[in-house]
Amino acid sequence: MFRLHDVHYYYDDGTHALKGISIEINKKRTVIVGNNGAGKTTLLMHLNGLLKPKKGYVEYRGKKIRYDKKSLIELRKEVSLVFQNPDDQIVAPTVEQDVAFGLVNIGIEDFEERVKEALEIVGLKGYEKRLCSSLSFGEKKKVAIAGVLVMKPRVMLLDEPTSGLDPKSKKEFTEILEGIDSMLIITTHDMDFAHEFANEIIVMNNGRIVEKGLPEVVFLRDLEKYGLRSPVVVEIYKSLGLNEKLPRKIEDLIKIIKQQRA
Amino acid sequence: MFDQIAGSTKLKLSGKAKVILAFTSFLAVMLGNSLSHIAAIVIFSVIILYSGVKPRLYLKMLTIPLLFIIPGIIVISIINGEERVFWIIKKEGLETAFNTFLRSFSSITVLYFLITTTTLPEIFSSLRKITPSFVLEIATLMYRAIQILVDEIFRIKRAQEARLGYINFKRGLNSFSFLINVLLIKSFKRAEKFSIAMENRCYTGKIPHMDRNLSFREIIIILLINTVIILPRWFDVQIA
Ligand SMILES: Nc1ncnc2c1ncn2[C@@H]1O[C@H](COP(=O)(O)OP(=O)(O)OP(=O)(O)O)[C@@H](O)[C@H]1O
Ligand SMILES: [Mg+2]
């Protein structure tokens, strides 16, 4: 889907946030991990043209991204970003107005059914008339996702969708994300989520890609040198020295352990 | 903020219906006689309380305009007419004062009905047909910006209070100027993020407004309430 060629980016204050990234991203569930300031958000913002590489270029579906206004709108219809902080994302005062925002702007006036549908998927049925300022943080995050979901994009980019959520909402969000048909590119600090959810893990450190591959493979490597801890499942698996294939979920790990004891 | 109350209203009417109801009732009250005014006060007070406004709060809200109205009607009852009823108070003046009181009080209840049940975005949306779109667009975006700003103010203020920022006047003044400072910086950052967010969401200059047509039920409700208010005038039924 995406191919980056030696992409460099530095912010106006001189921070060199991406230091030559060349990578192909095409797995349906791609999760990017990396410590604070590694460049994850900066990378995501390159994928739908919110930032333009200072050097190098980005390809989407085999074509170089073009940065004129019209091409960008076409691109963003297909590739939508959900920001980490929902208040950065929500642009309209009521839930309904915000979810319909993108649709109206690409010329779809007949949005009521689609808005309702999107809100139902994220579990906010009946919230149409609510003011966005009267929602909890988790609810705002759901509105932000619904506003992108409603566009039926080919690719959704999600910046830390599970940060700031309680364990129950985290589980709920994981389920919502699992139900989405679009390709998802997600950044997170939640290693357990990454391990359970991803088809592919990308590890970033200091503006560079340092690891890329299947979670079963990447998470068995030493990630501590990048300031990351392993997922709980991997820690237990390693310390028990099991021979089976590394399981994804904690439930599967428990099954293996039980079998061994029997 | 009243919009918080309006946002959680239990009243099941569309924004447009509420705006039209308030507007027509306002006219009806202006045209009506004293009985119309009493009818309007009763009807709208009932609706306001039914829609979930706490009675205590509503009473408090009603006392605010009283502070302005009462001195006014006292003056009216003194200066108007010839025939004295009591001390310097005159009969004619008393009647006029009573009518003035009812008239102003009933228009206030109509106004309160609108602000306690209808959010500003709803009002904007219902004005879509009669207002230039760019005005509504700016108003709606500004409203969202204010939502975020108010949020921010509360957050900073709470953080300051938690660290005893308002413990005495001097400290309070200090914290307040700091708050304004931070707010200014934050709103610049905000504006930048806002424009990125709009870009991300394919902004081409349109804000969705839910402009549904009135349902049959809503038309009946509006007609009914207006009829009740205007009826005493029609048949010239009076109390005073
Ligand atoms: N608007 C900005 N102006 C200047 N520097 C910035 C800006 N945004 C990010 N940076 C810098 O760019 C680098 C990469 O930031 P980025 O936000 O991409 O990291 P991240 O991996 O998303 O981190 P986090 O996990 O904390 O969200 C950091 O050093 C950061 O300080
Ligand atoms: Mg980030």
B56 and B113 within one domain = yes
Whether residue A188 has its Cβ less than 6 Å from ligand 1: no
- The pLDDT of residue A223 is 84
Residue A132 CB-half CA count within 13 A: 33
CA atoms of B97 and B226, how far apart (whole Å): 25
Atom of ligand 1 nearest to the CA of A84: 27
B16 touches chain A (CB under 8 A): no
**Residues B70-103: pLDDT tens digits?**
888 877 777 766 666 667 666 777 778 888 888 8
Mean pLDDT, consecutive 10-residue stretches, chain A (262 aa), reads 93 91 94 93 94 93 91 91 91 91 87 91 89 90 93 94 88 91 94 91 93 88 86 83 79 84 78
Residue A84 CB-half CA count within 13 A: 12
B152 and B121 within one domain = no
Using 50, 70 and 90 to split pLDDT, how confident is the model at B1? Answer: low
Does some domain include residue B222?
Answer: yes
Give residue B83's domain range: 2-126+212-239
- The pLDDT of residue B228 is 83
Does some domain include residue B205?
Answer: no
B229 and B170 within one domain = no
Does some domain include residue B195?
Answer: yes
B126-150 burial, b at 16+ Cβ within 10 Å, e below that, comes to bbeeeeeeeebeebbbebbbebbee
For B82, the 3-state DSSP assignment is coil
Does some domain include residue B6?
Answer: yes
Per the structure, the count of domains in chain B is 2
CA atoms of A168 and A232, how far apart (whole Å): 18
Specify the residue with its C-alpha closest to ligand 1, atom 28.
Answer: A37
Ligand nearest to the CA of B189: 1
All residues with CB under 5 Å from ion ligand 2: A 41
Asked if A56 contacts A6 with a C-beta cutoff of 8 angstroms, the reply is: yes
Q: How far does the CA of residue B209 sit from the closest CA of chain A (Å)?
A: 7
Does some domain include residue B185?
Answer: yes
A90-101 burial, b at 16+ Cβ within 10 Å, e below that, comes to bbbbbbbbbbbb
A-proximal residues of B, 200-239, CB under 8 Å: 200-210
Q: Is pTM, for the whole model, over 0.90?
A: no
CB contact under 8 A, A80 and B3: no
B64 and B163 within one domain = no
CA atoms of A40 and A81, how far apart (whole Å): 13
B116 and B21 within one domain = yes
Does some domain include residue B206?
Answer: no
Q: Work out the angle between the directed axes of helices B55-79 and B91-117 (0-180°, nearest 10).
A: 150
Does some domain include residue B101?
Answer: yes
B74 and B162 within one domain = no
Which of the listed residues A10, A12, A13, A15 should we mutate to test ligand 1's pocket, taking the one with most ligand atoms within 8 A of CB? A15
B222 and B142 within one domain = no
Whole-number CA gyration radius for chain A: 19
> How does DSSP classify residue B12?
-
Does some domain include residue B116?
Answer: yes
- Number of C-beta neighbours around residue A29 at 10 A: 18
Atom of ligand 1 nearest to the CA of A207: 14
- The pLDDT of residue B76 is 77
- The pLDDT of residue A10 is 92
**Residues B197-238: pLDDT tens digits?**
988 988 888 888 877 788 888 888 888 888 888 887 777 766
3-state secondary structure labels for all residues of chain A: CEEEEEEEEECCCCCEEEEEEEEEECCCEEEEEECCCCCHHHHHHHHCCCCCCCEEEEEECCEECCCCHHHHHHHHHHEEEECCCHHHHCCCCEHHHHHHHHHHHCCCCCCHHHHHHHHHHCCCCCCCCCEHHHCCHHHHHHHHHHHHHCCCCCEEEEECCCCCCCHHHHHHHHHHHHCCCCEEEEEECCHHHHHHHCCEEEEEECCEEEEEECHHHHCCCCCHHHCCCCCHHHHHHHHHCCCCCCCCCHHHHHHHHHHHHC
- The pLDDT of residue A49 is 92
B30 and B115 within one domain = yes
Ligand nearest to the CA of A190: 1
Asked if B90 contacts B84 with a C-beta cutoff of 8 angstroms, the reply is: yes
B141 and B120 within one domain = no
Q: Please give the mean pLDDT across all residues of chain B.
A: 82
**Residues B35-84: pLDDT tens digits?**
888 889 999 999 999 888 888 988 888 888 888 888 888 777 777 666 66
B138 and B112 within one domain = no
B157 and B46 within one domain = no
B47 and B105 within one domain = yes
Chain B residues inside the 8 Å CB shell of A91: 141, 144, 194, 197-198, 201, 203
